[in-house]
Amino acid sequence: MKTSKNRRLIMISLFALLLVGLMLLGVRLSPALANEFYPDHSDLVETNEPHLINDMATQIAEQPDAERESEDQESAINASTLDAAALLKSMVQDFENNTFSQSGWLHYVYYLESDIPNGVTLPQNYYCDGWFLINKTGNVTQHVISYYDNARNLNQREIYKDNTFINLTTNDKMETEGPYKLKLDFGVTRYMLEMQMEGSILNHEVSTVDEKPMTQFSVIGNYDKPTVFGNTSQPVESVRVTTLFDQATGAISEIAYVYLLVDGTEELFYKVQTSTLEWDELPQEFVKLLEDGE
């Protein structure tokens, strides 16, 4: 596998921490976090370039006494993971199409938890309660986002209007070129598909969470040598990314990113669980907040 491709998995790990603070804005950083939440990882990438290896397919292909059987098994695995990839793409697209089939105020609430300190002004575990004004093209033209700790104390609040992000807690501002696309999957499914394209096995199964049937996708990216990240207690051997879809609604209910460490233990980098995703009227206190901008 080419080094340039292998770097992508490293960058996923390095910048996954960014994703949990992006206010679901795709590539746009919130102004509250932009300055202190965007470390320069270039030195680490240049000096530590582990290779993504092809998981089960590689292990099967390397078995010395069953070359023909290995080829058959590897072909079956490749076909299976391609089917899973097609299904994942389809479910994400259907979810987004259904969600953005109308315009108005979308109320989106999720809870993020982590075993690893994030090193930023947000709590390690927090609630994100967001109101997003979606236009006819499916883009966000205004928003009000509030962050709360586990005791439901307000930690930060941000608004977006007139193509400008304004953090009302820190008074930071950042202008944009125009309305943005709300990434309900945090961009994670794209990375899962890229990992699958580069050799990792994308698994698909039906599971049950809180007595609800879920469609689960997971992928593991292995490093060919232990990789050190500053926020983990030990070097990382591999990463596991999982996405759960609620079969009843087709919505993404959970996204998890886990570090698999050299001693066989795991550390949860982050897990995002959605509790609310519905169209509603913006509360009057937030209407006034957008009008006043403070």
Cα 107–chain centre separation: 19
Give 238's strand partners.
222, 260
**What confidence tens digit (pLDDT) does each residue in 161-172 have?**
999 999 999 899
pLDDT of 126 above 90: yes
Q: Tell me, what's the pLDDT at 230? A: 72
**Band of pLDDT at residue 193, cut at 50, 70 and 90:** very high
Mean model confidence pLDDT for the chain? 78
Q: Tell me, what's the pLDDT at 24? A: 35
Mean pLDDT along residues 133-153: 96
Number of neighbours of residue 96 by Cβ within 10 angstroms = 17
Mean pLDDT along residues 173-201: 91
**What confidence tens digit (pLDDT) does each residue in 86-109 have?**
999 999 999 999 999 999 999 999
Q: Under a CB-based contact definition with an 8 Å cutoff, are residues 267 and 281 in contact?
A: no
Q: Is 166 helix (H, G, I), strand (E, B) or coil?
A: strand
pLDDT of 289 above 90: yes
pLDDT of 68 above 60: no
Q: List the Cα angle 45/48/53 in 5-degree steps.
A: 100
Mean pLDDT along residues 258-286: 95
Cβ-count burial 103-141 (b if 16+ within 10 Å, e if not): eebbbbbbbbebbbebeebbbbebbbbbbbbbeeebbbb
pLDDT of 74 above 80: no
Q: How far apart are CA 257 and CA 268, in angstroms?
A: 6
pLDDT of 26 above 70: no
Q: Tell me, what's the pLDDT at 225? A: 87
In terms of C-beta density within 10 A (0-12 exposed, 13-18 middle, 19 or more buried), how is residue 64 classed? exposed
Map tokens 């050190």 to a residue: 228
pLDDT of 278 above 60: yes
Hey, what amino acid is at 152?
R
Q: Tell me, what's the pLDDT at 233? A: 86
In terms of C-beta density within 10 A (0-12 exposed, 13-18 middle, 19 or more buried), how is residue 231 classed? middle
